[in-house]
Structure 1
Amino acid sequence: MSQVPAATKAMRVLKFLASQPDPVPLDRIMRACSLPRSTAYHLMTAMAEEGFVTHLVDERRYGLGVAAFEVGSGYSRQAPLQRLARRPLAALADKVGESAHLAVLHGRDVLYVIEERAHGKPSLVTDVGVRLPAHLTASGRAILASLPQAQVRALYPDKDSFVERTGIGPQSLSALRTILAEARQRGYAVENGEVTTGFASVAAPVLDHNDLPLAGVAVTFAEDGPVDRAAVAEAVRATAATLTRRVGGH
């Protein structure tokens, strides 16, 4: 049992508020975080005084405060996920002899935050800072396959949500769901020529303590090259599992 229950309760409140699209009334915070009314009131007052919570008096609701934004900004500046992933990704690229990368979900795109290019391999479109449609990439599919179905449905509400690059790839939510179901079943996601003609990728998700995806680890290789795809997939899964443990996931 935690020796700092007040801190634990405060963190639960912050995580709950961060998951909400709008400020919420105290009663909802109480129910979601299993807090008695008196405890919730005193906790919210203290968090508001420190700037982590904003009390919207006229609306009788609570939302995240400026201090919470500063914490999030600090996380972005320090880039802990990238720091934790750099060496494992380099080891992955060395092991399989192909380029490896780490991507995070950004709307309906994936944003590439690390690329470890294998020796002698050509540069890829998946350079750091590049965004690509998540439903076409292996890393994006690995992330999407680990999201709740309602969230995937919200990301892809209609056919206009589905773009293409090489003339192939899912063009409907049902087609994407089939691809994601296959990824969940085999334990990793794949793409073949849907991002760049002649290249394929395999990827696995990095999960947090709630089993939600933080990122996707992927390896890209020439489709017609002498690649043992099963061995690459296993190495990718092992690297993703290592990062999952490093960020506190199961």
Structure 2
Amino acid sequence: MPQVPAATRALRVLRYLASQPDPVPLEAIVRACGLPRSSAYHLVTAMEAEGFVVHLADEHRYGLGVAAFEVGTGYARQAPLQRIARRPLAELVDRVQQSAHLAVLHGRDVLYVLEDRAPGRPPLVTDVGVRLPAALTASGRAVLARLPAAQVRALFPSAAAFVDRHGAGPTSLSALRTLLAETRQRGYAVESGEVTPGLSSVAVAALDHNEHPLAGVAVTYETGSADPGELAAEVGRTARLLSARFGGRS
């Protein structure tokens, strides 16, 4: 089908533009997408006509257009993350017999978008729609550990950015950096009594095709009632499954 190569090139341009912090010159698109300059020019011109690309003539740069934003908001409206994660999360709960949840980063907080509670387990504060400080939760730490250092620094510029719930958890950027380094070395995030006394959590981040953390997959259990390493292995299995379904890897 002759349309497929052109469509593939257009998607590569969109993906590249979406990964850039600012609009870029045509030469950058040529290099990043491996296109001849004339082909790249005709392609972005066609995409501009459809609203997916905007041309900043004064700056000689190209960025994402309104149509790309509409595609993104449509993605959010359809809630594919929750839909895709619902069954794997339920299967995780069946395997470990502990409550599990899925959370996404929302500023300095995590927003819980999905939860599956195991029968007979204690009630949790991590209900769907609840927001908690990312630096205190296992799911938040799993996500933060996969972000660039500059982004973490921007989220937590001073001690005022940190929240204390029960007298535990990081209170400075250096303390948070140490905790995130330990998380990366361990391969999963942990939290014990920092959200709710007597309860602990382990979490692993699910990644998208750009190796960016989509969400934190976590299991919460009564402190001392389970082996965190064994739970983390099962949580990691679920996170890798979600990553694969979004074109990424854990």
Q: Give the TM-score of the pair, scaled to structure 2.
A: 0.91
Q: State the Cα distance separating 1:136 from its structure 2 match.
A: 1.0
Percent identity between the aligned chains? 71
Residue 87 of structure 1, CA deviation: 0.8
* Per-residue deviation, residues 148-192 of structure 1 (Å, max 9, x unmatched): 223222222222222222121111222111111111112110011
Distance 1:138 1:199 in 2: 12
Query: Which residue of the partner structure matches residue 234 of structure 1?
Result: 233
Unmatched tracts of structure 2, length 5 or more: none
Tell me the matched-pair count. 247
Q: Which residue of 2 aligns with 1:50?
A: 50
Instruction: Give the Cα separation in 1 of the matches to 2:210 and 2:116.
Output: 28
The code of the aligned residue for 1:235 comes to E
Matched residues in 1 for 2:75 and 2:20: separation?
20
Give the CA deviation at 1:211: 2.1
Who is 1:4 aligned against?
A: 4
Q: Which residue matches 1:76?
A: 76
CA drift at 1:197: 1.9
- Structure 2: distance between partners of 1:5 and 1:148: 33
Residue 17 of structure 1: how far off its partner (Å) = 1.9
The superposition leaves residues 208-229 of structure 1 with CA deviations (integer Å, 9 ceiling, x where unpaired) of 22322111100111224x2232
RMSD: 1.8
CA distance in 2, matches of 1:19, 1:108: 21
CA distance in 2, matches of 1:22, 1:237: 34
The TM-score normalised by the length of structure 1 is 0.91
Runs of 4+ residues over 6 Å off in structure 1: none
The Cα shift of 1:25 comes to 2.8
Give the Å deviation of 1:97: 1.6
User: Which amino acid is the alignment partner of residue 88 of structure 2?
Assistant: P
Within 5 Å, which residues of 2 pair with 1:1-250? 4-224=4-224, 226-250=225-249
Displacement of 1:203 after TM fit? Answer: 0.2
Distance in 1 (alpha carbons) for counterparts of 2:12 and 2:217: 28
Q: Which amino acid aligns with 2:16?
A: F
Partner Cα distance (1:210, 1:172) in 2: 29
1:26, CA displacement in angstroms?
Answer: 2.3
